[in-house]
Amino acid sequence: MRTRSLPLTAGLLVLAAAVVAAVLLSVAVGTRGLSPGTVLDALFHFDAGNPDHLVVSELRLPRTLAGVLAGVALGLSGAVVQGATRNPLADPGLLGVNAGAALFVVLGISTFGIVSVGGYVWFGFAGAAVAGAVVYGVSSLGRAGATPVKLALAGAAVTAALASVTSALLLTDQTTFDQYRFWQVGSLTGRDAATITQAVPFVVIGVLLALIAARQLNALALGEDVARSLGQNVLLARGVCALAVVVLCGSATAIAGPIAFVGLTVPHAARLITGPDHRWLLPYSALLAPLLLLVSDVVGRVVARPAEVQVGIITALVGAPVFVLLVRRRKVVAV
């Protein structure tokens, strides 16, 4: 065990270094290119009279930190939901959680005039929880209970229904549509320090819940009967996992909008490195996801200069073929 833990620990350190490099790249690259020296000078010797320093502190850094927070939340929520449902195709987006969060955010904008991330988060939490409960309830009908196939089918049906309601609300309210349309595609643009400050506590709580559930997820992967024989409280374990997914997914959706494929693809990539042990799978997912999100955001800034391609479009273009490749290689471990 110790022999295996050494390379995995080294891998985590390498990934952490890669995330730091991606953070620096994200802060430096944009319509106004900045040298690494300028970025470091702005971070450690800020000068309010220097326009380059203002670009870093007011625009690039909050956007980058938003990408880190959203990435961690998406990666962990995907890994937890796949482990809790024992479904390798499970994803907060595919199971309707993102659609529920998005619908409730739209309701918050149109009905209550919510305009801050602090308000989005609470509506995102409520929508994620309601959608997750509906999907699980529908898929649990019948003798077999919530099988992976039934979860996927119920998630697809609920997602379509919620998306239809969201579209109907947007079509009848131009003001809400104008505020929602850029957020809908999945974007890190326009995030400020207040956004980060409001989102950090929720992401931290979700991360702690997910990491606490690691051992329980390992037991659940063996089946409910085996988990009970090992002394696990299955109902409590699933409840902790569900709470973690709701908090993480609600936070990520509030920060960056519904970003596709990150929560689906990243846990599979992490599993190829770590195997099915969630004590390693979760930390790897928490690092791989922000790395993917930040690099995708940088690519989106570069490919269409001086305009930008939103990060949600890039992750969809990258995530879909990567996921197909993982499945075709037959190295995806169903947990």
Residue 97, in any domain of the structure:
yes
115 assigned to some structural domain: yes
Please indicate, yes or no, if residue 212 is contained in any of the structural domains: yes
Q: What is the pLDDT of residues 187-229, one digit of tens each?
A: 777 777 777 888 888 899 999 999 998 988 888 887 777 778 8
Question: At 72, which CATH number?
Answer: 1.10.3470.10
pLDDT per position as a tens digit, 50-68 = 888 888 888 888 889 999 9
**Count of structural domains within the chain:** 1
DSSP string, 121-168: HHHHHHHHHHHHHHHHHHHT-STT-S-HHHHHHHHHHHHHHHHHHHHH
Residue 183 confidence (pLDDT) above 70: no
Q: Is residue 172 part of a domain?
A: yes
d(CA 225, CA 206): 27
The answer to whether 166 and 106 have CB atoms below 8 angstroms apart is: yes
The answer to the question of residue 10 being in a domain is no
Domain that holds residue 280: 63-328
For residue 105, what are the contacts with CB-CB under 8 A and spacing of at least 6? 114, 120, 123, 124, 127, 180, 183, 253, 254
- Residue 182 covered by a domain: yes
Interval 222-280: pLDDT, tens: 777 777 887 777 778 878 888 888 888 878 887 887 787 888 889 988 988 998 899 99
**Rounded to an integer, what distance in angstroms lies between the CA atom of residue 278 and that of residue 80?**
9
Please state, rounded to an integer, the average pLDDT across all residues of the chain: 81
Residue 230: inside a domain: yes
Domain contains 146? yes
